[in-house]
Structure 1
Amino acid sequence: MAQNIVGGIKYEEEFILNSRGLKLFTCKWVPVNQEPKALIFICHGYAMECSISMKDTGIRLAKAGFAVHGIDYEGHGKSAGLHGYIPSFNDLVEDCSNHFTSICERKENKRKQRFLLGESMGGAVVLILHRKKPNYWDGAVLVAPMCKIADDMKPPAVVVNLLTFLCKVIPTWKIIPTQDIIDIAIKEPQRREEVRSNAYCYKGKPRLKTGNELLKVSLDIEQNLQQVNLPFMIVHGGDDKVTDPAISKLLFESASSTDKTFKLYSGMWHALTSGEPLENINIVFSDIIDWLDERAAFGNSRLEREQKGEYDTFPVIQQEKKTILKPGLTAGYL
């Protein structure tokens, strides 16, 4: 296990084996001089990774007092697997669920709140993680989530049908026609070059099976937005050309959660936490950290329900059928 301490933040890296025998890269940022307020599990976007492209996110949240844990998906970053290849989105989510749950269930973490943070495709990962365990997570931050592939990014229907057939025959081929996402996702030219020079970021065309998996999961999420019932915050750029801010607004309106917030930032692009001018990034993180701090300050209502369940199962079942809005927390739209 590699680790270092800089500026009061301890950073650690470790490789783990998933259920399919693949070696996956994991990392974490934790504050050194205080007990973490809560746990945050970050889910990176398609073709990206955690330790470099989400380093600033990890450091900012750790400096705010949170323990931040990340994992590179199969075929992404420093993890094993064919680069840029997602043979099964369900397996990808299962890997995240197993790793994140193993951290939550450690003795020192059992009483801590658990928050998810997903960017772009990572937002889809977060929503599926929530669906797998509806009462396990205490909240989620969705950064330009992939609830639907933007219409101008999606191939025509005839092409989709052809690719769906071909992915059964040549699943790893890189022939899906798409725009250069880096050019339309990242506003700052210097940041674009950093991503292009990052060998752990996949920059080829989407592989056939990968594209098919992303299309299927985006359609699935779009059709089940009402199933989202945990506290969540969505942040989305008004000029995002990769994921559709209108679908984020639809998620906000359709979700059954009573504690939900949607912030739309006029003029910002897709990469809100890394690809904007610094003053914009600071605004986004200020809003995210304020939201997390508010909920962390109210204590662990999930833990209270779980402890009551140890003595009396029936009242907990009744309680979980409704969402209770804590005093002072309201649904908001900006």
Structure 2
Amino acid sequence: MWVDGEPRYIAVLVHGYGEHLGRYDRVADVLVRHGAVVCGPDHMGHGRSAGDRVLIEDYEDVVADLHTVVESARGDHPGLPVVMIGHSMGGLIAARYAQLHGGGLAALVLSGPVLGRWHAVDELLPLDEMPDEPIDTSTLSRDPAVGAAYAEDPLVWHGPFRKRTIEALDTALRRVDEHGSLGALPTFYVHGEDDELVRPEDTRAGIERIRGADLTERLYPGARHEVFNETNRDEVLADVTAFIDRALA
């Protein structure tokens, strides 16, 4: 948990596949200075959490874990509005959370979210054996230091996908599509136009399925997958905090 002084809102960070919350120090620092108390889990099988590495058999379990974190933060800071920020696979989890518990959220931010369809799932689902091909870290950001830090991070998973995780992702994508609109929840969708890991055109279909009455979106030219770690990260995070201000007002 990150906090300094008397916060005016709770920001819950929902990290992506294979990574962990420790990679969000810079994001948390900006949010704390903006008035947030920042928290979030390492998902099951990720980072410092227990479980077989990157094995998720049902994403509803991850959403339930996330709800426990939110309710704990609410108990520690009663009366504060809750903003959820999900990146990549975390965007899928956060969107599902909002479908089930959106009445308890003041705003939702989705960064390069896995929604609609994901080419990685389409390609891996028919295979019996998961290929052991490490991620091309240059797809994360135009800043080479980001890829280098990712490659050297012992809490990041550098091995292959699990077949059951791919099956669970496929189920979760369909479930979110079928559930539909986020209603009146203020939602900010951000994506790098040059994202090759989670392609904007694939996410677009999912955004259209869940979009409610208050959707703001911003695509960043030249940016890759991790817009919070991109060379224009200050611009992206300024856009996020401006959106939060509007939602809380």
Flag whether TM exceeds 0.5 (same fold).
Answer: yes
SS state at 1:268 partner? coil
Contact 2:102/2:185 (CA < 8 Å) preserved in 1? yes
Query: Which position in structure 1 is the counterpart of 2:193?
Result: 238
Contact 1:176/1:208 (CA < 8 Å) preserved in 2? no
Report the residue type matching 2:19 in the other structure.
M
Q: Indicate the structure with greater helix content.
A: 2
Shift of 1:88: 2.5
1:29 counterpart = 2:2? yes
Cα distance change of structure 1 residues 225 and 248 upon mapping to structure 2, 3 Å threshold: farther
Q: Distance in 1 between matches of 2:138 and 2:161?
A: 16
Query: Which position in structure 1 is the counterpart of 2:17?
Result: 46
SS state at 1:134 partner? helix
Cα distance change of structure 1 residues 255 and 229 upon mapping to structure 2, 3 Å threshold: farther
SS state at 1:258 partner? coil
Query: Which position in structure 2 is the counterpart of 1:265?
Result: 220
Query: Which position in structure 1 is the counterpart of 2:102?
Result: 134
Shift of 1:235: 0.5
After superposition, give the CA deviation of every residue in 1:293-312 in whole Å (9 maximum; x if it has no partner): 2222x2xxxxxxxxxxxxxx
Query: Which position in structure 1 is the counterpart of 2:74?
Result: 104
Contact 1:252/1:262 (CA < 8 Å) preserved in 2? no
Q: Distance in 1 between matches of 2:220 and 2:210?
A: 21
Paired residues, what number?
249
Cα distance change of structure 1 residues 177 and 228 upon mapping to structure 2, 3 Å threshold: farther
Shift of 1:212: 1.4
Query: Which position in structure 1 is the counterpart of 2:164?
Result: 209
Cα distance change of structure 1 residues 281 and 177 upon mapping to structure 2, 3 Å threshold: same
Contact 1:227/1:256 (CA < 8 Å) preserved in 2? yes
Query: Which position in structure 2 is the counterpart of 1:284?
Result: 236
Query: Which position in structure 2 is the counterpart of 1:147?
Result: 115
Structure possessing the higher radius of gyration over alpha carbons:
1
Shift of 1:191: 1.1
Gaps of 5+ in 2: none
Gaps of 5+ in 1: 1-27, 164-173, 299-334
Which protein has greater RCO, CA pairs closer than 8 Å, 6+ apart? 2
Shift of 1:134: 3.2
Cα distance change of structure 1 residues 201 and 293 upon mapping to structure 2, 3 Å threshold: same
Contact 2:183/2:213 (CA < 8 Å) preserved in 1? no
Contact 1:40/1:114 (CA < 8 Å) preserved in 2? yes
Shift of 1:160: 2.3
Shift of 1:257: 2.3
Cα distance change of structure 1 residues 216 and 282 upon mapping to structure 2, 3 Å threshold: same
Query: Which position in structure 2 is the counterpart of 1:200?
Result: 155
RMSD: 2.1
Match of 1:226 among 169, 175, 181: 181
Q: Distance in 2 between matches of 1:148 and 1:178?
A: 24
SS state at 1:30 partner? coil
Identity %: 23
